Amino acid sequence: MPSSVFPELRFWLLIAFSLVLPCAIYAALLFRRAVSSGTVLALGMLLIVLAGVDVYLPQSLSHLAANTASAVDDAVFLSEVGVALYVLPVLFGGIGVNLVSHVLVRHLTQAERRFDAEHRND
């Protein structure tokens, strides 16, 4: 029986996927003077994938925490605090979907303008 979930790789992946990588993505998008549509699309998709991983990891860790002797990991993963761990994936997934939809809407608007310009003389 493991003594705690905190030394587990899954815990550190949760930290990386919930805090480090999304903050790095936001920094990359906010502090760049110019960003291509492809980059915005890729980073938006990455945020959606990270949100999916962030839903799986707390569930996995809560099952593991139930089998440990430590009360600290029980307090984090098996209580109301554990529910708060699902707020971040919802936030990141929502922002990722907004980024992807922004790129798609922008592309479709430009495509409609090109179509209208090409068929104006018809």
Does residue 54 form part of some domain? yes
**Which tens digits make up the pLDDT trace of 16-70?**
888 899 999 989 888 988 999 999 999 999 999 999 888 888 887 777 777 777 7
In a domain, 4, yes or no: no
**3 assigned to some structural domain:** no
Q: Is 93 within the bounds of a domain?
A: yes
Print the domain residue range for 26: 9-118
In a domain, 59, yes or no: yes
Domain annotation covers residue 74:
yes
Structural domain tally of the chain?
1
pLDDT tier at 78, thresholds 50, 70, 90? low
Residue 53 domain-assigned (yes or no): yes
Q: For residues 95 and 82, what is the distance between their CA atoms, to the nearest angstrom?
A: 22
**1 belongs to a structural domain:** no
Query: pTM for the whole thing?
Result: 0.78
- List pLDDT tens digits, range 82-110: 677 778 888 889 999 999 999 999 999 99
